[in-house]
Amino acid sequence: MSAEAALKSLGLELPPAPKPAGTYKPIVRIDNLVYVSGHGPLQCDKTLITGKVGVDLDEAAAREAAKVTGLAILATLRQSLGSLDKVVRTIKVLGMVNCTPDFENHPAVINGCSDLLREVFGDDGVGARSAVGMGSLPGRIAVEIEAIFEVRD
């Protein structure tokens, strides 16, 4: 099943592709690789999921924030490429979790995004990954995720 068909069959809606909040490009393409800048959990109503895991959010809510962030990444990919069907595979994901110092389950939170990518792109949606905790993130967002994808014309 194509990525666009998978997205539709899952009943998922993409938010508007986020605009840069600073001096950077949301996506840079070099040959057949695209580097997607850090994205936050932008919802379809254009609000962000904020809060610190371990204080404001539990693990399940943070995992949902990571899924929402994955949808924002997909929105940027679609806007840049014209179709998610041009994604060949996920190369690398870096997930950052805004959390208390004693929170230790960063990988489970970032699985919200990783599982989404697998659902949309199949096994090719699973790439290398790092998941780390941060003392803070811009605008108090719950998670920030960046990714690298292989693409085709």
* Cα(12)–Cα(37) distance, integer angstroms: 22
Query: Which residues lie below 8 Å from residue 88, measured CB to CB, with a gap of 6+?
Result: 32, 124, 149, 150, 151, 152
CATH fold of 24-151:
60s Ribosomal Protein L30; Chain: A; (3.30.1330)
* Cα(61)–Cα(78) distance, integer angstroms: 26
* Cα(75)–Cα(59) distance, integer angstroms: 24
Q: What is the pLDDT of residues 37-52, one digit of tens each?
A: 999 999 999 999 999 9
Per-residue exposure over 95-123, b if at least 16 CB sit within 10 Å of its own CB, e if not: bbbbbeeebebbeebbbbbbbbbbbbbee
What are the residue boundaries of the structural domains of the chain, listed by start?
Answer: 24-151
Mean pLDDT, all residues of the chain:
97
Whole-angstrom CA distances from 109 to 5, 23, 45, 112, 122 are 26, 28, 22, 6, 20
Mean pLDDT of 93-105: 97
Structure pTM? 0.97
Mean pLDDT of 132-145: 97
Residue 15 has a pLDDT of: 95
- Confidence tier at 21 by pLDDT (50, 70, 90): confident
Structure tokens at 31: 């040959």
Q: What is the pLDDT of residues 57-76, one digit of tens each?
A: 999 999 999 999 999 999 99
Give me the torsion for CA of 68, 111, 97, 25, rounded to 10°: -60
More confident residue, 1 or 142: 142
Residue 98 has a pLDDT of: 98
- Confidence tier at 1 by pLDDT (50, 70, 90): confident
Residue 30: other Cβ atoms inside 10 A:
7
